[in-house]
Structure 1
Amino acid sequence: MGLKEGDFPPVDPATFEDMTYQERIKTLSRHWAEFGFGAPKITAIIYIVKLLVFFCIGGILVGTLTSDLDPLSPSEWWDQPIFWQKAVIWTMMLEALGVAGSWGPLAGHFKPMTGGVLYYARTGTLRNPPWPSKVPATAGFTRTPVDVALYLTFIGALVVSLALPGTTDVDTVAGVSVDLVERAPMAVAIVALALLGLRDKIAFLQARAEQYVPALIFFTLFDFVDMVVAAKLLIVIVWCGAAFSKVGPHFANVIPPMVSNTPWLSHKGIKRMHYRNFPEDMRPSERATGLAHGAGTLVEFGAPLVLLFSQNTTVTAIAAIAMIGFHLFIISTFPLAVPLDWNVLFAYITAFLFLGFANYDGYDLAAMDTGLLIVVVAGCLFFPILGNLRPDLVSFLPSMRQYSGNWATAMWGFAPGGEQKLNDHIKKPALMQKQQLTEIYGEEAAEVVMQQLLGWRSLHSQGRGLNSLMMKTLGPDIDTYTLREAEFSCNALAGFNFGDGHFHNQQFIKAIQSEVNYKPGEFIVVFMESDPWGPKRGRQDYWIMDAAVGVVETGSIAVKDCVKEQPWLPNGPVATKVDWTLDGYERVRYERPARPAPDPGGDDPSQLAKEARIGA
């Protein structure tokens, strides 16, 4: 892999779609194991430059210069409460604008690299309200001037919060005055985002509201000491919630493809070690399982609890260093949702809260009013508990299941020509990713890149389930339909995804159908819900939908059956337990148009494959 040249899969783009789907997945999953997405090194450089220059340096300048602090003297501002608050607000604003997490080519934004504001500040684009039949004035599938006004009001309130120099409060522990962000603009931001969220949960959660809205509430309503202690509780619950979600068989399947995509790790042997017996057995090895549940789950559980209760300077420092290192490691792996900015913020917050305002200096749980502490703990735990018991009711983001491998996911299948209709009929500032890539690399190479995401998904437990459902639904037509990872497609249609399958749920498919009017059989969706805790643990519910007809089947799949199979399902689809089918439904079939004969005077397909490049 070079600076501007990626590692293209070992296939001929001109004949790639002549392979069976299982052959394609077998080839692409093995290629991912050694090269990840195969993006050229310049892709990682672009992300690093954006992170350091735009997010870090930009955030430091905004947080200091507007607060009468010297940006060139970190010792002056790193432990200042107003700088901490503005760092949180700065990150939330960038997330909401679409220039933080889920940005750029690793998140499916190629041309342009930004979603977010390009969608939310424009009328006519798709939205997905959470409860349109229950909350008045929220029904509908497209963005109106009201939605745009709410979004811009929210962004404007954050800008004002950053720009104002702040006000003074009293630190009752230290007995000194501290500067804090003005409360009124933050209150406006909270109200505007809440109203926006009732009309579009995608825009709401793109702002990472599940984590930053509680912080804004603390900033707005609490005095300084309660604010600090509440923030400690919030971040510890985020960490422990994420750790809890990784208990089980799913997370071990996350580690191998994540390590494989690490741009600085070029040693194929190390990458292969995370698979049981590359290339024949692509299930996670004991080493990957140990890394997942040892260095991953145990550290993410243990170190935060130490930070929350420790009164010892050395123990606190060790735990803080462990969590800072934890976030730096995640940054180094460049996960596909690329939450790099969020991880930098959490590394900084770790130092600010637990070293700058340590428990042993008086900022422990005892410093907070008991009644208020109970309210904060209950409020922060409500959605993680409900989301793990009933994942169908709560997004995986408020459920605190970040990168656990246990997600709601979907795969889309289009009859020949069906995907292009999304460009023809849906208003959006970007073409679908296949067309974005076609403008850069050509149509055949672009199709290979798009299907690499299916190879990546197949390395995860739920990917085997999705492939099984699609194979069962399409039968032999699976080799001729255009298959897409729904997460990436949702990015192009709605501006953001971040791995949340609830964004492209049944309601979103109905929104697409209302704009495109697909014929029966043209657009098929298979969807798997997260694995819940409780009596149904170990089975993931699914539904199958024909966009023109509606849901045609529901049932469940056993997790143990998925994790024991290879990504390409050589033994055939995983067994399903069918609960309901639509009486009389029979999928309408579509034949693939005949492929044009190669042009004798045209380019050599092998040369095209060699020249095809993946990346920005």
Structure 2
Amino acid sequence: MGFKTGDFPPVDTETFLDLPLRERIRLLALHWAEYGFGTPKMIHTIYLVKVLVLYMIGGVAVATATSGAGPFWDVTQWWNQPIVYQKLVLWTVLLEAIGVAGSWGPLAGKFKPMTGGARYFAQPGTIRLRPWRRVPMTDGDTRTLLDVILYVGFLASLALALLAPGRTTASLLEALPDNTSGLVRPALLIAPIVLYVLCGLRDKTIFLAARGEQYLPALVFFAVLPFTDMIIAAKLLIVIVWIGAGVSKFGKHFTNVVPPMVSNSPTMPFTSIKRAHYRDFPRDIRPSGLASFMAHVGGTTVEVITPIVLLFSTDRWLTLAAVAVMVIFHLFITSTFPLAVPLEWNILFAYLTVFLFLGFPNSGGYGVFAMSSPWLTVAIVAALAFFPVLGNLRPDLVSFLPSMRQYAGNWASALWAFAPGAEAKLNTIAHRPALNQVDQLLAMGYDPAVAEITMQQTIAWRSMHSQGRGLFSLLYKHIPDLDNWTVREAEFACNSLIGFNFGDGHLHNRDLIDAVQARAGFAPGEWIVVWVESQPIHKGTQAYVVIDAALGVIERGTWEVADAVEALPWLPDGPIPHTVTWRHDDEPVVGASR
């Protein structure tokens, strides 16, 4: 891999697309195992510059300059200042909401333009996805002028709270008598909190893009809690985020995440180590014992045990060691450049670990039992744990992000299949700020075959995860001539329609399909979607639906997770078994025999 030249799959571009889909998946999955997406290092450099200059230097400069806690280049002056912590959270929310933090750029499926977010959220007529149908005044799937006003108001309220000077409080001075910077004024946080909720009720995409499941509770703590309680509540928040993510890695899915993630890391120069994460490369690229160790010791164990140590430890050296472990953990994730590229989130969490647990140690009066009321502690823990618990038991009711299942492999996922030529109908949608990804690549000067092979790398990536085997099995069952169809990874594809995705299948579920169908008008049998829900923590199955965009749901059923995990990505032994629980009587036969 060069700085400007990527590692393109070693295939004959003239003949590759004529191969059967299974063979294409096999070749691209084997290439991913050694090179990942094969992205030129120039792209990773752009991300690093964005994180370093825009996010880190820009955020610290704004936070210190507006709070008097600077200068920003002297870390010793501001790293443990509460107002800097608050303003870095506000800065992160602002960048996430605009669309220049997570889910940005080529690694997230945004080639030209590289930014989604505000290009969609600030434009009337774009697609809007309400989270709950029963909420009054949220009908429809089209963004209105009201939605734009709410969104722009949200950004403005964040900026105002960020730029305004701090104010001291009695509870702050009681804990830190020498503090002169103060805290963000609680009154300035009311508008961001209210607009966070209103924007989210109108469009779940905005709420999830701004990472409301994590930052909204923090803003509430800033606004209503006295200083010591605020710090302890922030500790509870980050610990529940960590433990929730760790618990979500229980089971069979996460082991399948680690090998393709390591393979995609530009900081892993040794092909031998990448291959070691697979059982018997190139014959068997299911996860190896090393991958399992990395997943459940380096991942699950770290995310469950270390946060508990941080929450209760009063020993300085034990706390320091636990802080170091979590900082390294987040820096490692950053170094792999995972798809959706949540780099800012990981950098912030590394800083928060140091700020909360070293800056305000449990032994200094900031332990979990030092909160002003034990009932307040219970209430905060119950509120923070509600959606993770519900989401693990009923993933159909709670999105992947509020469930705290970040990058755990247990995702709601989908593949989109288009009859020959039908994908072009998506480009007819009005008020859409971006074209289909393959057309974005063509606009950048890619050869048509190269552009198509590049996009097919993403479906090979999906095949390396457990859900991919089940989803491809459904496509082979429902589309006899699938080799001639265009198959797209839904996480990437929906980015060009709504401006954001983060591995969350709830952002491209039936609601999005219906919204697109109302605008593009696919004929029966032209666009087939296979969609699967996350696995509930107490079941061994995943529930799927097959959707014809023109006709609606045509089949429901389940598959055994164990069957999906045991299959090879390209399904050489055929589709995995499915249990059909409901089937539309008039389901059309698509493909060659239609």
TM-score normalized by structure 1?
0.94
Kept in 2, the 8 Å contact 1:166–1:182? The answer is yes
- Give the letter aligned to residue 14 of structure 2: A
- How far did 1:12 drift? 1.9
- How far did 1:174 drift? 4.4
SS in 2 for 1:356: coil
Counterparts in 2 of 1:363 and 1:176: CA distance versus 1, 3 Å: farther
Q: Which moved more, 1:416-425 or 1:76-85?
A: 416-425
| CA–CA distance in structure 2, aligned partners of residues 589 and 286 of structure 1 | 40
1:550 to 549, 552, 561: 552
Structure 2 alignment gaps of length 5 or more:
none
| Residue aligning to 1:448 | 453
Instruction: Give matches, 1:375-386, under 5 Å.
Output: 375-386=379-390
SS in 1 for 2:414: strand
- How far did 1:427 drift? 2.3
Kept in 1, the 8 Å contact 2:130–2:203? The answer is yes
Aligned residues: 588
| CA–CA distance in structure 1, aligned partners of residues 593 and 442 of structure 2 | 23
- Does residue 1:282 correspond to 2:285, yes or no? yes
| Residue aligning to 1:99 | 100
| Residue aligning to 1:559 | 561
Instruction: Give matches, 1:215-234, under 5 Å.
Output: 215-234=218-237
- How far did 1:370 drift? 1.0
1:505 to 506, 509, 527: 509
C-alpha distance after superposition, 1:474-520 (max 9, x if no partner): 12x21011100000011110000110000111111000000011100
| Residue aligning to 1:154 | 154
| CA–CA distance in structure 2, aligned partners of residues 350 and 288 of structure 1 | 26
- How far did 1:14 drift? 2.4
| Residue aligning to 2:252 | 249
Q: Which moved more, 1:69-78 or 1:120-129?
A: 69-78
C-alpha distance after superposition, 1:7-35 (max 9, x if no partner): 11121222222110000000000000000
| Residue aligning to 1:317 | 320
Instruction: Give matches, 1:164-175, under 5 Å.
Output: 164-169=164-169, 170-171=171-172, 172-175=174-177
C-alpha distance after superposition, 1:227-253 (max 9, x if no partner): 000000000000000000001110000
Kept in 1, the 8 Å contact 2:396–2:534? The answer is yes
- How far did 1:175 drift? 4.8
| Residue aligning to 2:403 | 399
- Give the letter aligned to residue 331 of structure 2: L
- Give the letter aligned to residue 580 of structure 1: W
SS in 1 for 2:168: strand
| Residue aligning to 1:601 | none
- How far did 1:425 drift? 2.2
| CA–CA distance in structure 2, aligned partners of residues 349 and 25 of structure 1 | 41
- How far did 1:266 drift? 2.3
Q: Which has the higher contact order (CA 8 A, sep 6+)?
A: 1
SS in 2 for 1:168: coil
Kept in 2, the 8 Å contact 1:249–1:563? The answer is yes
- Does residue 1:438 correspond to 2:437, yes or no? no
Kept in 2, the 8 Å contact 1:202–1:496? The answer is yes
Instruction: Give matches, 1:292-441, under 5 Å.
Output: 292-368=295-371, 369-440=373-444, 441=446
Kept in 2, the 8 Å contact 1:416–1:591? The answer is no
| CA–CA distance in structure 1, aligned partners of residues 270 and 442 of structure 2 | 31
Kept in 2, the 8 Å contact 1:416–1:590? The answer is no
SS in 2 for 1:467: helix
Percent identity (aligned): 55
SS in 2 for 1:329: helix
- How far did 1:296 drift? 1.0
| CA–CA distance in structure 1, aligned partners of residues 114 and 449 of structure 2 | 22
SS in 2 for 1:385: helix
- How far did 1:136 drift? 1.6
| CA–CA distance in structure 2, aligned partners of residues 135 and 288 of structure 1 | 44
SS in 2 for 1:526: strand
Structure 1 alignment gaps of length 5 or more:
593-616
| CA–CA distance in structure 1, aligned partners of residues 430 and 379 of structure 2 | 44
C-alpha distance after superposition, 1:62-117 (max 9, x if no partner): 10011112112211111000000000010011011110011110000111111000
Kept in 2, the 8 Å contact 1:521–1:588? The answer is yes
- Give the letter aligned to residue 260 of structure 2: P
| CA–CA distance in structure 1, aligned partners of residues 526 and 235 of structure 2 | 50
| Residue aligning to 1:141 | 141
- Give the letter aligned to residue 515 of structure 1: R
| Residue aligning to 2:268 | 265
Alignment root-mean-square deviation, CA: 1.2
2:486 to 482, 487, 492: 482
- Give the letter aligned to residue 149 of structure 1: I
Kept in 2, the 8 Å contact 1:520–1:587? The answer is no
| CA–CA distance in structure 1, aligned partners of residues 521 and 85 of structure 2 | 49
C-alpha distance after superposition, 1:556-601 (max 9, x if no partner): 0100001111000001001000000001212343699xxxxxxxxx
Kept in 2, the 8 Å contact 1:128–1:507? The answer is yes
| Residue aligning to 1:458 | 463
| Residue aligning to 1:539 | 541
Counterparts in 2 of 1:427 and 1:417: CA distance versus 1, 3 Å: farther
- How far did 1:177 drift? 4.8
- How far did 1:430 drift? 1.0
| Residue aligning to 2:122 | 121
- How far did 1:176 drift? 5.2
- Give the letter aligned to residue 250 of structure 1: H
Kept in 2, the 8 Å contact 1:415–1:590? The answer is no
SS in 1 for 2:431: coil
C-alpha distance after superposition, 1:448-480 (max 9, x if no partner): 0000001111111111111111111112x2101
SS in 1 for 2:417: strand
